[in-house]
Amino acid sequence: MAIAHGFNMRSVPARIIRGGSSKGIYLRHDDLPPPGPARDEVVLRVFGSPDRRQIDGLGGADKLTSKVCIMGAPTRADCDLDYLFGQVNTELPRVDWRANCGNLSAGAALFGALAGLGRREGDRMRVDVHQVNTGRRLVTHVPMEGGAPAVAGDFAIGGVPGTGARIDVDFGDFAGSALGGDVLPTGRARDRLDVPGIGPLDVSVVDMANLLIFVRAGDIGMDRAASIFDMQADAALVARLEAVRKAVSAEIGFITGPEADRELRVSTNPLIFAVAPPCGYAATDGRAVAAGDHDLFARSLARYEFSKAYPGSGAAGTAVAAGIPGTLVAEAAGLATPGRFDLRIGHPGGVLSVAAEVAAGKGILVRQALIGRTARLLMDGTAYFR
């Protein structure tokens, strides 16, 4: 363990990396206490949590930027490094270690490439990442230039200004990763659920990269023309979506009991998505997104907060759901049969494309769920905390 002391404070080596449309603090496993309260305390103090502004730490005061990644030597023989993700709460002294961040998975790939891990394949470095939260393997490819990860490129992603070098992240190994079972936890592509305060509602529950719930945007009264900021300000809309999260969690036995409300404020899973056929809207930067630019309109929420972009894991799961006949995603996107396809998701930051291959067999077989991301090292140094 390498917790150091200086300037009347404690310190730990840290890197800040933007991965996709998220930003995280990357710490090394060997520099931290073992898993448990002591490690959580270090993470919370580095971030400045609990505090909505995280003013006394490095946290970004937003769910997309209050994220920690613990990196270490691989504990899977077929991987190059370990990556453990934690969502750091801003309001409660809690770190949620039960989910994965798909966007910061690109940052994990970059972390490995910076260390020279993986193997060169032409002008790219293949880095196989053990995603410790799920026990699954991410297959990633990082473009290289002059012995280091490339920075410049022409690949743009919604929610991130400018362009960069494209990093490919394949979640094909993540079917059933949240619950350890099938892609469809209920055994059905669509369920009719009686949600308190709403009534009977169609939902699709998909376990792919994270635990995902899909509802029709129209069924929960979402105005698709509204900005994500106006949606966030609509307390009744947020409450309806959270009611569905709670009802589905109880129905499948994921989060239940008297502490369910509190746990749903901590747990990233399940994420809920409101989906609909394509429509024109304005992205968060003011750019017009036309109906012809995307195949699926989608908005994501978890822990009472809408995502201003789109979760990378959610993108992988959304694409897989689009290839499963009968899901609300397949209905909205107009896909009716499994196979290999590209899905363009219209989200608040713009459009995200996913290459997926879904096959029918004994259950749902996922062969690929590949997203393109960019990532960049922002800071390499020392984090000080009290």
Q: For residue 5, what pLDDT band results from cuts at 50, 70 and 90?
A: confident
Q: Given a cut of 90, is residue 360 above it in pLDDT?
A: no
Domains and their CATH numbers in the chain: 4-173+375-385 (3.10.310.10), 191-369 (3.10.310.10)
| CA distances to 10, 146, 295, 335, 353 from 290, in Å | 51, 39, 10, 19, 15
The tens digit of pLDDT for each residue in 170-188 reads 999 999 999 999 999 999 9
Q: In this predicted structure, what is the pLDDT of residue 155?
A: 97
- 28 DSSP β-pair partners: 71
Q: In this predicted structure, what is the pLDDT of residue 1?
A: 56
**Among 28-42, 221-235, 246-260, 336-350, where is mean pLDDT lowest?**
336-350
The tens digit of pLDDT for each residue in 229-250 reads 999 999 999 999 999 999 999 9
The model scores a pTM over 0.85: yes
Query: What is the three-class DSSP state of 283?
Result: coil
Other C-beta atoms lying within 10 Å of the C-beta of residue 374: 25
Contact call for residues 271 and 241 (beta carbons, < 8 A): no
Q: In this predicted structure, what is the pLDDT of residue 4?
A: 75
Average pLDDT of the chain is 96
DSSP assignment string, 160-229: SSS-B--EEEE-TT-BTTTTSS-SSTTSSS-EEEEETTTEEEEEEEEEESEEEEEEETGGGT--TTS-HH
% pLDDT > 90, the chain: 95
Q: Given a cut of 90, is residue 69 above it in pLDDT?
A: yes
Q: For residue 281, what pLDDT band results from cuts at 50, 70 and 90?
A: very high
Q: In this predicted structure, what is the pLDDT of residue 286?
A: 94
The tens digit of pLDDT for each residue in 122-149 reads 999 999 999 999 999 999 999 999 999 9
Element (H, E) at 151: none
Backbone angle region of 369, left / alpha / beta, with phi > 0 → left and psi within -120 to 50 → alpha: beta
**Among 67-76, 320-329, 336-345, 350-359, where is mean pLDDT lowest?**
336-345
Half-sphere exposure of 319 (CA within 13 A, CB side): 33
Q: Given a cut of 80, is residue 337 above it in pLDDT?
A: no
CA angle 34–31–53, rounded 5-degree value? 90
How many separate helices (H) and strands (E) can be counted in the chain?
Answer: 7, 23
